[in-house]
Amino acid sequence: MSTLTLKGPYWVTVRQYRRTLWLTGALVIAALALIGGLRIWDARTPDVYVQDGYRDVAPDNDGYGMLRWAMEYLSLGMVLLPLLVGAFVAGPLIARELESGTYKLSLTQSVSPVRWLGSKLLTAVAVALATVGLLTGVYWMGWVRVGGSSQLHWADRGAYEITGTVLTAYALLAVAVGALIGLLVRRTLVAMAVTGGIVGLVLLVLGAYRWDFLSVRTITGPAVPNASTLHMPDNGLIMGKGLLSDTGQRMSGWFCPPDAPPSGCRTDVKATAEYLDYHPPSHFWPTQLIETGIVLALAALAVYAAFRVLRVRHP
Our CA angle for 171, 12, 17, nearest 5°, is 50
pLDDT given for residue 1 in this prediction = 36
Is the pLDDT at 105 greater than 80, yes or no?
A: no
Query: Which strands make up the sheet holding 271-279, listed edge to edge?
Result: 217-222, 271-279, 237-245, 250-251
Question: Per residue in 222-266, pLDDT tens?
Answer: 776 666 677 888 889 989 888 887 777 787 765 565 555 555 565
CA of residue 14 relative to chain centroid, distance: 27
Q: What's 90's DSSP letter?
A: I
Of the candidates 240, 152, 140, 158, the residue with the CA atom closest to the CA atom of residue 207: 158
Is the pLDDT at 104 greater than 80, yes or no?
A: no
pLDDT given for residue 78 in this prediction = 95
CA of residue 50 relative to chain centroid, distance: 36
Q: Compute CA distances 49 → 46, 53, 54, 133, 249, whole Å.
A: 9, 6, 6, 35, 46
Task: Please enumerate in sequence order all residues whose Cβ is within 8 A of that of 92, keeping only pairs 6 or more positions apart, or say none.
Answer: 17, 20, 188
pLDDT given for residue 136 in this prediction = 96
Report whether 82 contacts 204 (CB < 8 A): no
Rounded to an integer, the average pLDDT of 265-271 is: 63
Sign for the pseudo-dihedral over CA of 58, 62, 64, 65? positive
Please report, as a single letter, which amino acid is at residue 62. Answer: D
- pLDDT: which is higher, 12 or 304: 304
Is the pLDDT at 147 greater than 80, yes or no?
A: yes
Sign for the pseudo-dihedral over CA of 92, 95, 99, 105? positive
Orientation angle between helical segments 113-146 and 284-313, nearest 10 degrees: 160
Mark out the alpha helices in 151-251 (DSSP H runs): 159-162, 166-185, 188-209
pLDDT given for residue 2 in this prediction = 41
Report whether 267 contacts 243 (CB < 8 A): no
Q: How many CB atoms lie within 10 A of CB 85?
A: 27
